[in-house]
Structure 1
Amino acid sequence: MIPDKRFPAKKAEQNSLYLVAIMAAVLISLSVLTRIILLLKSAGGVDFTFLNLLGLFVIGLFYDLVNAAYFTLPLVLYIWLTPRKWWQKRWHRFVVYGIFAFFIFGLLFNAVSEWVFWDEFSSRFNFIAVDYLVYTNEVIGNIQQSYPVGIIVTALLAATAALVYVLKPAIKNAAVQAYSFKQRSFRMLAYVAVLLLCFFLVNNKIRQFSDNTYVNELAGNGLYELFAAYRNNELDYAQFYQKIPDQTAFKKIREMIKTPESSFVDNNPFSIERKIVNAGKEKRMNVVLISVESLSADFLGTFGNTQHITPNLDSLAGQSLLFTNLYATGTRTVRGLEALSICTPPTPGQSIVRRPQNEGLFSLGRVFDQKGYESKFIYGGYGYFDNMGYFFANNGYKLVDRTEIKKKDIDYENIWGVADENLFTLATKEIEKTVKSGKPVFAHIMTTSNHRPFTYPEKRIDIPSHTNREGAVKYTDYAIGRFIKEAQNKPWFKNTLFVIVADHCASSAGKADLPVNKYKIPLLIFAPNVIKPARMERLMSQIDLGPTILGLLNFSYQSKFFGYDIFKLEPGRERAFVSTYQSLGYIRKDTLIILRPQRISDSFVPNFTDGSAKLIQPDNQLTEEAITWYQTASYQFKNKLMK
């Protein structure tokens, strides 16, 4: 170290880098104190063995140190980039006091937040906390109604002032810059190396060392767990939801998933793999699956809408196999894509489309590939959004997105993607490319225009662009109608099955936690030379669409899907799944079961018209069915049995 001669030697022995050690010491001290307090709070559920306590505090300290490395990054950057002469100014010392006050208040606020979260979930921060960061309006309102926020904030400000006052001598002595920029840069490189090691080598599974859940949770660090939850996008079903023994769940799911045309390939109690045998000659038809952004069933005149915003879809509905009782599994595009591609119930937390280790899954695209098709996912936006491109490219599909469209061929585009008419032009080219190669095609097309800001090319419809949702719906309807009309002039049209379905509804808000009317979506299967117009009014889940399409084609294959072929399913066995990130709904026999974190389950009689729900006495049989579906789906993905 080269001391600055303008400061006494004793003072120069310390320097600004010691500020990082002070900040880290504060964080670690508060983390350890928080861990002790939460341990005392949960004493009744903790196994107080020597190994548990040793692991709890040793592993906990390790995570505290890792979290300190992340947390001090802003301070390290500030020290690295701040000119040396500033540190010699008296005013700069007060800037440093302010920085410490800001970060210490944040740490204290986090400690209180951890207490509140633990009080409700008996857990460190997880995906629920990440979800809360998304729904800030509801969360802040709930906190204001539940806790004396003013008193808490005042107390935290007082505690912050007290801590800064106690630390003032140490901060003052360290607020000296004794290193040159070159020397600081070398130390910065070492620090970045440590961060990279933490990022790539450390995960939150290290703390899972005990059979006691409380111990494993206490061994974590709240801020680090929040970061890990954001990275992993997963809310562990087994930890937070009501469950039954895995062996019992899989015995039951094997009973419930069995259908007349299927038989299990082996006696593995944890496998749902079945051989599907459909009678008759296989129909090697092209399949064009259009998943429409935010297309609620109640937008269509066929479902009672009087605004006349879907004339093309309403016309097609009269010529198609129309499904009138279909429910989306979730409220986001990635959840719909999950249901349509891998045909699984929605597991809690984030969609599998966005999760790590989602490669090589058994998918609808893979079944078509096995039959000699070329499977394509064709998207009007950029494939990197919501991890869609990576997911489909690694699960049996060829990715085709807006990067394949030349600028001169784009009539209109916004942040989400190109206009739907340009998307369908691209899709037509891709379909013809595959058909001309001698292969049938399975093309999954994902639209984007029916999305805020509701903009599209002018003079296509009678509602100006950027007016409202109805205009966006009518434009998408126009684009689909134009696509079908142009396809009728193509040689491949007569041998093509057109499937039109929504990814989810336009809104999920309603009178109940899971308003079922906000999950109802349309489904049309149009192939005038093969399928006669008809209505299918049985209850159906979005995850049933894949097996139903394969059934219409008379395909025999080995399946790991959780979905049913609705035409082969015996009457009375219908069910549907609806969900948010946290609430998992199961519709069966006009009853709605909702599973929630903290192992809560409730039974309701839902109103399928206005979305309200009446709480009833627990239906134990249907609750166990709901648990079985969701628990086994989560188990299958977690244990890589969907691959």
Structure 2
Amino acid sequence: MFIQKIKPFLYLGIFYLTISFLVRMIFLFHPITTADFNFLEVIKILMIGIVNDIFVFILTCPFLAVYFVFLSNSKYQKPYGYIILGLLCAFFLYILLIPDNIFKQYGGSAAEIALAFIGLKIIIFSLMLFLPKKRLQIRNTMYFITVFLYVLLIIFNAVSEYFFYNEFGLRYNFIAVDYLIYTNEVIGNIMESYPVVPLFLAIFAVATAFTFYIYKKTKTELLFLPNLKQKAILLTSFCILVAVSLLGLSFTTKLKSDNVFEDEIQANGLPKFYWAFTHNELDYFQFYPQINQQIAERNFLSQYTPPVLKRTIQSEKPELNKNVVLISIESLSADFMAHYGNTQKITPFLDSLADKSLMFTNLYATGNRTVRGLEALTLCIPPTAGESIIKRENNKNKFTTGSVFKSKGYDVKFLYGGYSYFDNMKDFYEGNGYDIVDRNNFKPEEISFANVWGVADEDMAKKAIQAMNAEAKSGKPFFNHWMTVSNHRPFTYPNGKIDIPGDAKSREGGVKYTDYSLRKFFEMAKKQDWYPNTVFVIIADHCASSAGDTELPMDKYKIPAMIFSEGFIQPQKFTQTMSQIDVMPTLLGLLNFNYQTKFLGQDVFSKEFQPKAYVATYQDLGFIKDNYLTVISPLKKVKQYALTQQKNSLSPEFNLYYDEKYVKGDLQNKKLIEQAISAYQSTSYWLKKNQLNR
């Protein structure tokens, strides 16, 4: 009898496990999964995956269990039915009429959601109360809808996980949390990137078909509702199973290997999403390996002269108050450029510009998101655990590149073709003294094309020229930081501009259109009076993909960067390892600026420069130096990889790929581990103590 009562759970559970198994198999054979697994490794992945899926399904079942617990005919008998209906109506009026009800105090849409839920409950309860002959039919309809919602969510989650993995090579992480926050951009991006209507119709069709099957197999359970004893057994059983599942997941989610793909495929996306949602910031001092703070600071500051946080940079040459235009390009991996071996000819302008510029051939982005790139170029500090500083509450009055230029009398602006509230950019840049030019500043006639991320880069180029012309007329030098948007999914742009159609939605098209837009920008800039006195810094914010065999695959962090100024910057290639955080201190050095600094990046042409780079994900913090990659992670874990460059047939100075060989504990370079810990621990400490503020 008990088995009969839990048939809905069994059918839904089998359906969920089957869908999850299929998704896991797809991930195993997905082109983005570059790791090779032997038979035993595949079995291990599938077994751990099934266990994770069982635990997760059990944790979702209490909602269905509560639904069955409240199934009853006795509550519709007089006088109970009328009392319950009266209480529901009173509760509805309380939410509707009382200004300071508990839901409105909670904020957001809580009151509207509660009002809709109680209103729907009143309608259904009234039908069941006043139409007793239709009660079974109504109950069956509600049961069908309940099962349909479960099935729909299972399928929708599977499809969502597939698209997320297809984009990032990962299960859900903090990016998925952001997707819930910035729904307008994200939903718009999905609508423009994928055939949403056919996809949703297919999802609903499949969900409906499976719901009918499960409904037919289990609807007889509604003919004989569980009695009080059966309900008690049902609830007790689920309480025990939930406790076991929580305990089990606390163990299985900590099972890690040396292969990121293995960890991701055997995982379940929902616990990862929950973890990301509840860990938006990571306390370095709680999760990461530490050494004595004074020793950490001494180790880290030893690279500077003098070895202190606040230092004075003094040039022997006169200052050059040239205009500066910093262009950070969305998702421009190094391997898109011909200089790094690409043969598709999708960056013809940037490749030609690189030959006339100071080009940094061995430079690494600090992260895999735009806010990380903006953080590195604006604050010039190593990435810290958790979310970017740009998106944290304590993100204002920092020591920034903008504050250095402002101290020299420059106009300082941040330019962005989209709405700068996205990713908290507006709050961050305005809070640090930048003026903002974004989509809000465009007149309708100034927009020839736009998608959900913003106006086309070509339109933004024209707006940037307008802004710079206005600044030049004021007689003051200007520093403008322009963040491009077109090289981002859905990769749409105006037709007829390049030889790849704007509606092809191809990554290569997005790259090539951005390259085309930059050519147009420079063609317009050359006609302006301020052009000869301007330095241009062109750099990617991050790579197009971050998926790889290890936590921090080196080739997924290498980005192109160049400094160009006709008659001022002599063409050359800087081949030593450097970080995104070194670019702006290097530029200030080229301008012979005298200033007090708290930047943790270095001028690569200074005598004290030490070749190194910082790379990070949301959790893993990497330090590249002396052909080693040292990675520190939560739970105070440390890994190290020996790096061996692979030969590049095009040119040895443009090496892109490395072999990363895991170094066992007893063979690790302890000095580099201490340097990695010192860098990240010191940065986290200074941020916590507001010592990196102006």
Is 1:631 paired with 2:681? yes
Deviation, structure 1 residue 447: 0.5
Matches within 5 A, 1:526-565: 526-565=564-603
Q: Which amino acid aligns with 1:478?
A: Y
Q: Which amino acid aligns with 2:535?
A: L
Change (3 A) 1:483 1:70: closer
Is 1:574 paired with 2:615? no
1-structure distance, mates of 2:341, 2:573 = 15
1-structure distance, mates of 2:407, 2:588 = 12
| Match in the other structure for 2:555 | 517
| Match in the other structure for 1:209 | none
In structure 2, list runs of 5 or more residues that go unmatched: 1-75, 92-104, 151-170, 180-220, 236-269, 646-655
| Match in the other structure for 2:479 | 442
2-structure distance, mates of 1:166, 1:298 = 61
| Match in the other structure for 2:660 | 613
Contact 1:605–1:613 (8 Å) recurs in 2: yes
Change (3 A) 1:590 1:162: farther
Deviation, structure 1 residue 227: 8.0
Choose the corresponding residue for 2:533, options 477, 480, 495: 495
2-structure distance, mates of 1:606, 1:533 = 29
Choose the corresponding residue for 1:348, options 365, 385, 388: 385
Choose the corresponding residue for 2:284, options 210, 217, 237: 237
CA RMSD of aligned residues (A): 3.9
Deviation, structure 1 residue 14: 6.0
Between 1:78-87 and 1:586-595, the stretch displaced more is 78-87
Change (3 A) 1:164 1:15: farther
Change (3 A) 1:9 1:134: same
Q: Secondary structure at the match of 2:327?
A: strand
Deviation, structure 1 residue 569: 4.2
Is 1:255 paired with 2:302? yes
Change (3 A) 1:340 1:169: closer
Q: Secondary structure at the match of 2:396?
A: coil
Is 1:290 paired with 2:327? yes
Contact 2:289–2:636 (8 Å) recurs in 1: yes
Deviation, structure 1 residue 167: 6.0
Deviation, structure 1 residue 11: 6.9
| Match in the other structure for 2:465 | 428
Contact 1:449–1:456 (8 Å) recurs in 2: yes
Q: Which amino acid aligns with 2:482?
A: I
Measured against aligned partners, the alpha-carbon deviations of 1:331-383 in whole angstroms (never above 9, x if no partner) come to 11111001010111111221111112211111111111111001100001111
Contact 2:279–2:386 (8 Å) recurs in 1: no
In structure 1, list runs of 5 or more residues that go unmatched: 1-5, 22-65, 106-126, 136-157, 171-222, 265-271
Contact 2:390–2:425 (8 Å) recurs in 1: yes
Deviation, structure 1 residue 96: 12
1-structure distance, mates of 2:540, 2:327 = 8
Contact 1:16–1:79 (8 Å) recurs in 2: no
Q: Which amino acid aligns with 2:364?
A: Y
Measured against aligned partners, the alpha-carbon deviations of 1:527-569 in whole angstroms (never above 9, x if no partner) come to 1121111111111100111211111111111111111111114
Measured against aligned partners, the alpha-carbon deviations of 1:51-95 in whole angstroms (never above 9, x if no partner) come to xxxxxxxxxxxxxxx99x999996675225543634625649959
Choose the corresponding residue for 1:166, options 227, 231, 248: 231
| Match in the other structure for 2:362 | 325
Contact 1:274–1:559 (8 Å) recurs in 2: yes
Change (3 A) 1:129 1:533: closer
Is 1:407 paired with 2:422? no
Q: Which amino acid aligns with 1:415?
A: V
Deviation, structure 1 residue 386: 1.0
Change (3 A) 1:586 1:12: same
Q: Secondary structure at the match of 1:83?
A: helix
Measured against aligned partners, the alpha-carbon deviations of 1:429-476 in whole angstroms (never above 9, x if no partner) come to 111111111111000001111111211112211222233212221111
Change (3 A) 1:76 1:601: farther
2-structure distance, mates of 1:521, 1:228 = 30
Is 1:507 paired with 2:545? yes
Change (3 A) 1:81 1:535: same
Change (3 A) 1:83 1:408: same
Deviation, structure 1 residue 570: 3.2
Q: Secondary structure at the match of 2:409?
A: coil
Q: Which amino acid aligns with 2:529?
A: P
Measured against aligned partners, the alpha-carbon deviations of 1:475-515 in whole angstroms (never above 9, x if no partner) come to 11111112112211111011100110000111112232211
TM-score by length of 2: 0.63
| Match in the other structure for 2:494 | 457
2-structure distance, mates of 1:323, 1:163 = 73
2-structure distance, mates of 1:619, 1:479 = 46
| Match in the other structure for 2:129 | 88
Contact 2:88–2:118 (8 Å) recurs in 1: no
Q: Secondary structure at the match of 1:598?
A: coil
Contact 1:128–1:235 (8 Å) recurs in 2: no
| Match in the other structure for 2:118 | 79
Q: Which amino acid aligns with 1:233?
A: N
Change (3 A) 1:251 1:477: same
Q: Secondary structure at the match of 2:419?
A: coil
Q: Which amino acid aligns with 1:421?
A: E
Contact 2:486–2:493 (8 Å) recurs in 1: yes
Deviation, structure 1 residue 18: 9.3
Deviation, structure 1 residue 134: 8.5
Alignment: residue pair count: 486
| Match in the other structure for 1:379 | 416
Change (3 A) 1:133 1:497: closer
2-structure distance, mates of 1:594, 1:225 = 21
2-structure distance, mates of 1:439, 1:238 = 44
| Match in the other structure for 2:341 | 304
